[in-house]
Amino acid sequence: MHAAPLQQRGSGLLVVALPVAFLLVMLVAPAARLLLEAWRGGTPDLSVAEAVFAPWLDPYLRWRMAWSLIQAACTCVATLVIGLPIAWVLARFEFAGRTLVLRSLMLPFVVPTLVAALGVLALMGPQGVLARLGGPDLQGTPWLLLYGNVFFNLCLVVRAGTDALGQVSASRLAAARTLGATPWRAFWRVEWPAIAPWLMSALCLVFLYCFAGFGLALVLGGQAYATAEVEIYTLVAHELQLGQAGVLSLWMMSLTLLVALAYAALEHHLAAPTRADRVQRTAPLGVVQWAALALALLCLMAFCAAPLMGIAWLAIFSGANWAGVGTEVGNSWAVLAEDETLAALWNTLRFTVSAVLLATVLGLAHALAARRSMLLRTLVFLPFVVSPVMVAFGLLLLYPAQTDSVFMLIAAYALLAYPFVAKSLASALDSMPAHYHDAARSLGASPWRTFWRVTFPLLRPALRRGVAFAAATAVGEFAVTLFLSRPEWDTLTTLIYQRLGRPGAANLDAAMVLSCVLMLLALVAFAAIEWESPTDNAYAPHRSHA
């Protein structure tokens, strides 16, 4: 008579063991191996302390670490200065197309980093739109990377600010205005204190994405402005300096963990009930308000849409002679029929589908197990804290015999993707009324029947969103593929990177065409995310940015 409780307990243990074992094997153990490599230091003539602090003693590595911090901090300042006024306009004004604008803010989250980098080059690179129209070539300057960072992260601050301003108390704001406060003074005294924690939370994510970013820094930073993540890749892939790379990874992981803890603390502070007296949006009145709205939309176009439009422009007019002689448009589209492109597309699709299936199983198990464990709720953020470069490096050190295994590559994809499924499902489970489950059990339904007939149908929208984010992460994954992929496993991202490394304008045009294909796949994921839920909170952590 105890068979049912024992079976239920066994199922519960399996649900808990599956994600925990996966994290231990694919993340915790490789991270420990990475720490061991850092502890050894890889330099026999140095003491342990000297080896650990080597990145700060070596002028070259010190610049890499310093630049990683500087570019992340500059991006935080730029996104706050640009994003806060845009957020205020979107939160306070009602206008035609506002919902579409809010939905479009999600787009950078599903655009692979390599596509974003190509978009910046399409605008500001040596063969970009601005250069072809007589503008400056910004190649070799820090502005390419900083602009790419703003493109990728501005939407975080805008969305956080818009949501936060929607929670400001209308009665307090009206009282301040009644007492004679100007709109500017009322903002700083009433609105800013209320929205500051939201913005600081978003800025923590911006800092994390920029500090631990890889794809943008690799393509846009160049030799002079490469970040520490790029240096780790160079030390491992080109110089075989594993000990030095391990030490650098240790510092990156430690600094990233500190910022992640700050983000988690701010997120906990934001867990407050929604205000009932929200400020109502109004239609713009007068020239000043309409000008503010137009300027906000122009800024969104310049910083969020222009890179993608630049890719499409150069891909459509690939092969054109911009001097006006012999314009032959569309030559580079022939790359789509090449064998290596078809093979890369097939690899991208099959790796993505396999990784998403595994991520769905892991995410569902983790979300169900996390209902009863705060520790498991915290563990789901581990793949966000450790960058893909360090994940791949740790796997390379711990499982050298398995680095040519396709299962290892798919498992690494799933590791970076499944937290989106788990986090989305966990939020849905938290908001699900408990009496639904109790009613089904009181009518005699077993736990499994209750799950499949009651719980799972209610989880489908959240599952769809989580799977879409996971697919967007897997389809554009770049860092892991560079470390663990074999030549016959090239994906669209690695093929684009190879084209960028070959000389000639034809290869750049071919890379733009391939980026259009990758962007199309990302748009499919974007449509899946936003099809039914335009008001979903869009600034959850995303590893596609790495």
Rounded CA gap, 508 and 125, in Å?
A: 11
Local confidence band at 5 (pLDDT 50, 70, 90 cut-offs): very low
Indicate if the pLDDT at residue 105 is higher than 60. Answer: yes
Using only the alpha carbons of the chain, give its radius of gyration: 24
For the chain, what is the mean pLDDT? Answer: 76
- Kindly report the pTM of this predicted structure: 0.77
82 has pLDDT over 90 = yes
How is residue 338 annotated by DSSP?
S
Residue 365 has pLDDT above 50, yes or no: yes
Cβ within 8 Å of residue 154, ≥6 positions away: 79, 82, 83, 108, 300, 303, 304
Is the pLDDT assigned to residue 324 strictly greater than 60?
A: no
Helix axes 59-92, 286-300, angle to 10 degrees: 140
Residue 323 clears pLDDT 50, i.e. is over it: no
**Of 38 and 523, the one with more pLDDT:** 523
pLDDT in tens, 445-476: 556 666 666 666 777 778 888 888 888 888 87
The predicted structure's pLDDT at residue 264: 65
Residues 6+ apart with CB under 8 A from 397: 30, 33, 34, 37, 242, 246
Q: Other C-beta atoms within 10 Å of 466: how many? A: 31
The two tokens of residue 161 are 């600010």
In a domain, 1, yes or no: no
Nearest to 529 by CA among 459, 470, 458: 470
Question: In terms of residue numbers, what domain contains 349?
Answer: 12-319+328-545
Residue 146 token pair? 């900083």
Q: Which helix (H) or strand (E) holds 158?
A: helix 143-165
pLDDT of 432:
67
Give the chain's domain count.
1
**Residue 345 located in a structural domain:** yes
In a domain, 6, yes or no: no
- Is residue 523 domain-resident? yes
Q: List the one residue out of 21, 155, 176 whose CA is nearest residue 79.
A: 155
Is residue 208 within 8 Å of residue 258, measured between CB atoms? no
**Pick the residue with more confidence: 380 or 530?**
380
Instruction: Report pLDDT for 266.
Output: 66
Higher pLDDT, 84 or 61: 84
- Which whole number is the average pLDDT over 369-373? 74
Contacts of 282-289 spanning 24+ positions with Cβ under 8 A: 282/92, 282/93, 282/94, 283/93, 283/94, 283/95, 284/93, 284/95, 289/93
| Residues in the chain, overall count | 546
Helix (H) or strand (E) holding 165: helix 143-165
pLDDT at 416: 86
- Does 5 reside within a domain? no
- Best-predicted range by mean pLDDT among 3-7, 265-269, 315-319, 459-463? 459-463
pLDDT at 415 > cutoff 80: yes
* Residue 525 counted as domain residue: yes
Residues 29, 411: Cα–Cα separation, whole Å: 14
So what's the pLDDT on residue 79? 93
**Which one has a higher pLDDT value, 71 or 191?**
71
Other C-beta atoms within 10 Å of 443: how many?
9
**pLDDT above 90: percentage of residues in the chain:** 4
pLDDT over 90 at 78, yes or no: yes
Nearest to 124 by CA among 106, 150, 86, 158: 150
Please state, in angstroms and rounded to a whole number, the distance separating the CA atoms of residues 508 and 490.
18
Most confident of 88-97, 105-114, 536-545: 88-97
Residue 86 binned pLDDT confidence (cut-offs 50, 70, 90): very high
Q: Is residue 530 part of a domain?
A: yes
pLDDT-derived band at 240, boundaries 50, 70, 90: low
Query: CA-CA distance, 485 to 410, in Å (whole number)?
Result: 10
Tell me what percent of the residues of the chain surpass a pLDDT of 70.
77
Q: What is the mean pLDDT of residues 261-273?
A: 61
Smallest CA-to-CA distance from 163 within 125, 197, 212 is with 197
The mean-pLDDT minimum among 104-108, 149-153, 471-475 falls in 104-108
pLDDT score of 431: 67
Going by pLDDT thresholds of 50, 70 and 90, the confidence category of residue 294 is very high
Q: Is residue 4 part of a domain?
A: no
- List the CATH number of the domain containing 490: 1.10.3720.10
Task: Write down the pLDDT at residue 1.
Answer: 43
CA 73/CA 203 separation, integer angstroms:
9
pLDDT at 274 over 60: no
